[in-house]
Structure 1
């Protein structure tokens, strides 16, 4: 019987987040400035937004660890049992959509008739969730392509 040394977790580098940022911003942009996304967000229920968040997490995890057969979540550095690469992916995904929405003044443009700050925030969150579905694909793809 041959003994194996425990595998050392793969180091996570700043370059990995930079790659995710490129992909995340690339695919987030068109959806942040699309009126249809903001109309969808107005009509979404809170539960639909939460399910959308779960879908974003599932797409991100699948893209990083299931579609890429060379990468294993157990071989990555972790925080509280969650791979740092996955945490970074979620921050980049939601962060890039949020940043562009605020930078382009999308909530003020598409929700100018909304009267309360709370409602403005709720609808904006839902629009960010919709945009995140596409941003996560770009961020995870860029991470997988450039980290080889």
Structure 2
């Protein structure tokens, strides 16, 4: 059942990106600087990493459009058929983890100094970003929905 227009949230705004970013960075930080996350990522295969990334998308979609937020996916502006708010959420969820990892020099600290060769650094970093994004997406979607 659709809510009356007066009770629905406004369409996607630039302020929503800022809200998502605050929530995404807030929950991404602790996972970027935890050695166990990087060890876990080093042990993951690509199937596990892909399933983790898909899980991030499912959590984000459910939080934005299936939780009782008053949003209707059909009324959202889209970018090549994908709701702009969802594209922004995924960018923030994965991007905040990657940005913090690079700023904190986590790949160098946890991988190179740990003896992992250069070829595996990029792959392991991508897997670690997927793991961190599971938590970042929760913060980003919550901040977008609450504020």
- TM-score norm. by structure 2 comes to 0.90
Q: d(CA) in 1 for partners of 2:91 and 2:69? A: 23
SS at match of 1:20: helix
Question: Out of 113, 116, 129, which is 1:114 matched to?
Answer: 116
Q: Which runs of 4+ in 1 moved over 3 A?
A: none
- Give the corresponding residue for 1:79: 79
Offset at residue 79 of structure 1 (A): 1.2
Offset at residue 72 of structure 1 (A): 1.0
Which entry has the higher C-alpha Rg, 1 or 2? 1
1:132 equivalent to 2:133? Answer yes
- Coordinate RMSD, CA, aligned: 0.9
- Give the corresponding residue for 2:97: 97
The answer as to whether partners of 1:77 and 1:84 remain within 8 angstroms in 2 is: yes
Q: d(CA) in 1 for partners of 2:122 and 2:49? A: 13
Give unmatched runs, 5+ long, in structure 2: 1-9
Offset at residue 48 of structure 1 (A): 0.3
Offset at residue 69 of structure 1 (A): 4.0
Offset at residue 11 of structure 1 (A): 3.2
Offset at residue 68 of structure 1 (A): 2.8
The answer as to whether partners of 1:68 and 1:144 remain within 8 angstroms in 2 is: no
